[in-house]
Chains A and B, each alone.
Chain A
Amino acid sequence: MVKIGLYLCECGPNIAEAINLDKIAEQIKKDNKVAGIEQHKLLCSEDGKKFLVESIKKNEFERIVIAACSPKQHETTFMEVMSSSDLNPYMFQLVNIREQCAWMTPDKEAATSKALRSIRAAINRVRHHDALQQKEIDCNPDVIVVGGGITGIEAALRTAQKNRKVYLIEEQKLGGRLREYGLLFPTMQPAQEFLNKKITEVKNTGQIRVFENSKVKEILGFFGNFVATIENKDREEIEVNAGSVILAIGANPFIPTGLAKYGYGTFDDVYTAAEFEKMTSSNNITTKSGNPPKSVAIIHCVGRKRLGYCSKVCCTNSMKIARYIKEKLNGVKVIQFYKNLCLPDKKYDEFYKKTKEKGIEFLRFSDIEVTKEANQMMLKYKQENDNEDALPVDMVVLSTGLIPNPKTEDFAQMLNIPVDEYGFFKEEHMKLGPISTITEGVFIAGCAQGPHSINDSMVQAGAAAGKILSSLVPGRRLQLETKTSYVSETMCIGCGVCVDICAYGALTIDESKRISVVNEVLCRGCGNCASACPSGAARHRHFTTKQITQEMIEILK
């Protein structure tokens, strides 16, 4: 019989006063299931830990149950003690008789009997524990960055290190959408100057291999070991290996065709902000008739209702455009039609104020329509106070939001990451993992994740770099979660129930065997699959059906 050692911690008076430990020891001795019972004042103390190691070794215990505090407090502590005692740390069960017994049960007798029940359950459970080993795999520290816009460039620069190669893959030319920009807000600095500096930096960094005019055909593998097939500009297929992937494929401007009231596509001089941006980079602002406009209206929030989200950057971007026009064209009248000003940065209120100071008008509307009367564009609008008015203008710039890159879906499928309800990549956790995905090792940065300013996109690129630099260190092996699931090959029938419900794509069907298999690199160990599997072929390490039912049977004795 395996030798199980039981240790009862008094936790000073905390447990000893609330629970009759002697009685417990006596009962457990009667059960005759443990090889020894020891009691100690405070097992988590240095003295206590020393006592444990010595006692375990002396008694040659093989499995240990410690009745003390919450595992949140000292599970790790005692697992270390297990290791110091030359035992596998998982041959151990901690019974929480402090937080969840002593402290919550005023009646000593009741507390004692509850503690006894819990300890018996733990003894019964620990008998069925398996020694688990910390698993490690070799991993590749290199990085694949998909998308060569400013986010991708920044991500590449931030990840490129001495011992780490970066593959930066861009479908067209490095620079992305920013190549069409004239100025940047809120600094109003020339965009191309800024971009070129960055591109030069990329080229000067020895560690970045740039693929321009290239496509990612396929990415296989998983965290630590991805293989990407790239079709380069010469239509050759190249395979690169990396440990992680950053998806920085950006977003597209929303095109308001179908929103008839804005006159886009109907009237000549109605542009989207993105189209206008191209004009600014060519430095030539004219209407279709070739004359510079005398009055320009910029309409905010075009399509916002349809998209269902605020794109965050358009208000400020519109102001940038307004200022540009005002500077370029003497005496031009620029009016901004807005609903709500979204200025989410400490610098933006000031930017707005400056914009106003330049003589740019701001008009809050509740409804608007672009019409034409005798060759003159007219803006008919309704104000918030329900006053209606009309304004003749020569040019209309529609400030539209950002929508997902159509490629998003392809990459999402390729790498098993969900997209959100708007079609952007879905982050692992909105607050804590904003650039991570449920597929470990795949990160999303910039507008591929949602609308962001250039600054925010670049921070996200840096964040992705941070995640990669910290988890994939050159020369180090990747440590995996221990309490993962696995599938018994003999028992599995391959129904895929576990595959469907796994949030991390850790389970797949091995088509050759027609059974499901767990990728332990991806499994995070929740055990959902073990419950979903009707036959019990999917098994959750350290929470096996056996272990749980054994716990139950003692509790229900």
Chain B
Amino acid sequence: MEEKTLPRILGFLCKWCSSTGADLAGVSRLKMPASLIPIRVMCSSRVNPIFVLKAFLGGADGVLVSGCHPGDCHYQSGNYYTRRRFAVTKKIFEELGLDTNRIRLSWISASEGQRFVNVVTEFTENLKKVGKNPVKAEVFL
């Protein structure tokens, strides 16, 4: 039943940190809602704002972009760009009255299994509050 009421979150996880962190959460048998479906990318900087928009317009209740902490990027500085891009997306969301609660940028390192669980749990709870993404039902997009 939970399945149906659970928000659906698309998670872009960088390979080196966040994805490993997520794995660690699993290995550690930590529990969290089954709301997030991960997409692994080499670096969070691969996440084109277009992807976030597409996921959002496609009806995802939430989009999580997650990479190494600033300064830890496997590719030197990728995540700084991620941040700037995400900022742009967020400004657009804000300006156009789109729900910024649905997009989220989190830094999760390879050792932060627990943090991953926390982020996802919190994001999920948050999304439960704001409800289903109404875009899903729109036909005139």
Contact, chains A and B (beta carbon distance below 8 A): no
Interface residues of B (CB under 8 A from A): none
